[in-house]
A = this chain, B = another copy of it.
Amino acid sequence: MRKLSLLLIFNSLLITAQTPDEQKLKDIYDQSLTNSQSYSWLDHLSNKIGARLSGSANAQKAIEYTKAELDKLGLDRVYLQEVMVPHWVRGEKESAYIEINKKKIPVPICALGMSVATPEKGILAEVVEVQSIKELEILGVEKIKGRIVFFNRPMNNALVEPMEAYRDAGDQRGKGPREASKYGAVGVIVRSLTLRLDDFPHTGGTWYGDIPAAQHIPAAAISTNGAALLSKSLKTNPNLKFFFKQSCKKLDDVLSYNVIGEITGSEHPEQIMVVGGHLDSWDLGDGAQDDGAGVVQSMEVLRIFKLLGYKPKHTIRAVLFINEENGVRGGDAYAAVAQSSNENHIFAMESDSGGFTPRGFTIEGDEADVARIQRWKPLFEPYMLHLFAKGHSGTDVEPIKSSKIIKVGLKPDTQRYFDHHHAATDTFDAVNKRELELGAAAMTSLMYLVDQYGID
């Protein structure tokens, strides 16, 4: 592409602000794209601190770092909110192989978050492959007992929206081990939740629910290439054995914190608007996309308001939640304090789908709530945001209860998200500076509009 001279211009992209709101959005975008701090904050969180699993020393460093950075912004209040969080540790690097006629073929795995360890010597057992939890029932105890259950339903590449494909395949990881245990399985291997074929296992939480501790069986994710190999091998060698070994464990809960920064409202200080992401991350990458991006974008909202000298009518809080990945204790604690203090939340926004080019917002509420947010859609057209649809907001803001509240999620382009999500590939270099900044600008713009006009 070399064309310079005759490029016709998108009329819609020549942004000429006319109304005060158009001007304010332009100011917000200008600052976000030319004078941002989000990317350098993310660089520090990712490269100087790194993975931030709840209860870890790194999580504590991230809490201290983001609080110190918020302290520099001249906000009205910056504080930590105590939260007891689970403390799961991965232990030694896991190992796994397929054993066919004494030949051992190594495959990449990682323990699922919150899983128990295997016995110290590992587990060696025959494998039964299934595509769904429902299939367990059909196979029954007879075919499952003493075996490793291998959940191998791929994320569906035909779905245009990767989040849908994640939702469709995710039950295998979240409750597959719990369900397989009921039929006497000795372990569970889950195909990694990604749309790519590669060699990176993707972790993520699994939940034993209320089954007795003695029935908690070890569970690991296998890379998609590994899953393909295992599945192919089973077709010709149904009695092959699979070996895996992991030493992860759950330690005692640890005192941790949500980090909160606040600009007090000038007209309605008692009405609170939240913007947030989560500080914790899985431990395999550095958590830049999930959810360092949402953290620094939320901080940037406050920073841009201060930069522009904007004095919000409502109280604006950036909340950097702890423990989204394996407990949501931060989200629950925030909501509990809000409830016990009789706080009145009117709006909550979360960014937890990666720092990619923003496409719009998902709006959680009734049709009237969706319409309230959609009325601002034309203001976002020059910035190429176009999706304003009903949808999930965010896991951390979900617990917040108020008599009248609208919750939204930033909706970025997620085509690349599951290349990185919960894997060693979730690293800073996978985040594009402008895409991250455009997300922060979109979030700040919507916070501004809700602050100006409320949600009624």
Contact = CB atoms under 8 A, between A and B. Distances in A.
Contact of A4 (B170, B359, B386): B170
A368 to B, nearest CB: 16
Nearest to A170: B4
Interface in A410-456: 413, 415-417, 419, 421, 432-435, 438
Contact of A325 (B2, B10, B290, B434): B2
Interface in A1-54: 1-13, 15, 29-30, 33-34
A34 B157 contact: yes
Interface string A158-175: 101111101100110110
A10 B167 CA distance: 12
**In this complex, which of A10, A33, A386 has the most chain B Cβ atoms within 10 angstroms of its Cβ?**
A10
A376 to B, nearest CB: 16
Contacts of A126: none
Nearest to A6: B392
B160 A392 contact: no
Interface of A is mostly: loop
B434 A166 contact: no
Contacts of A173: 4
A163 B7 contact: yes
User: When A and B form their complex, which 3 residue pairs have the shortest distance between CB atoms, in order from nearest?
Assistant: A4-B170, A386-B386, A7-B167
B3 A395 contact: yes
A264 interface: no
Given A5-B174, A384-B160, A416 B432 contact: yes
Contacts of A29: 158, 160
A352 interface: yes
8 contacts: A2-B205, A2-B325, A11-B389, A13-B161, A160-B383, A196-B433, A415-B438, A419-B432
Given A167-B7, A415-B432, A434-B415, A382 B1 contact: no
Contacts of A359: 384
Contact of A10 (B324, B354, B362, B364): B362
A391 interface: yes
Interface in A116-137: none
Given A413-B413, A415-B432, A8 B174 contact: no
Interface string A287-322: 000110000000000000000000000000000000
Given A29-B158, A357-B415, A415-B435, A166 B9 contact: no
B158 A13 contact: no
B7 A161 contact: no
Contacts of A160: 13, 15, 29, 33, 382-384, 438
Nearest to A277: B1
A387 interface: yes
Contacts of A353: 1
A11 B363 CA distance: 12
Contacts of A196: 433
A55 B407 CA distance: 58
A325 B2 CA distance: 6
Given A164-B13, A204-B2, A435 B421 contact: no
A398 interface: yes
A145 interface: no
